[in-house]
Amino acid sequence: MEKFAKAFPSKPLPSKTAKPWALAGVVGSGNLEVLLERGGRPSGTMECHVETSIPGYKASWLAALADFAHHYPAGGTKVTINDQGAPPVLVNLRLRQAYDHLTKGDK
């Protein structure tokens, strides 16, 4: 297991969201879960906590998270990830799904 945390600059989240938190994905082989929560953080950063079962890929994790924080206004959120070896593309997909759920609701 490898554990790390980092905050990334990001434009502030819209002031109104459909939910206070959203979860996307499941913890299973080659998969991950992303918990996205709003509130309580500086509005200009996306705070990320990652726990992954496959160590040694911190650079690609940080690059993927930084890209997401750059492309989506997610400032003021906290991202917590439980990972069981998901490829970066899935990290990106789950972040987008969680973001959609948070901002627009489940449907």
102: how many CB neighbours lie within 10 A of its CB? 23
Region binding other proteins by CB under 8 A among candidate stretches 5-13, 40-48, 80-88: 80-88
For residue 19, the SS3 value is coil
47, 10 Cβ separation under 8 angstroms: no
Task: Show contacts with other proteins in window 29-58 (CB under 8 A).
Answer: 29-31, 33, 35, 37, 51-54, 57
Region binding other proteins by CB under 8 A among candidate stretches 7-15, 18-26, 40-48: 18-26
Cα–Cα–Cα angle for 45, 40, 48, rounded to 5 degrees: 45
Decide if residue 88 touches other proteins (CB under 8 A): yes
Of 16 and 59, nearer to other proteins (C-beta) is 59
48, 8 Cβ separation under 8 angstroms: yes
- Using CB under 8 A, pick the residue from 28, 42, 44, 58 that binds other proteins: 28
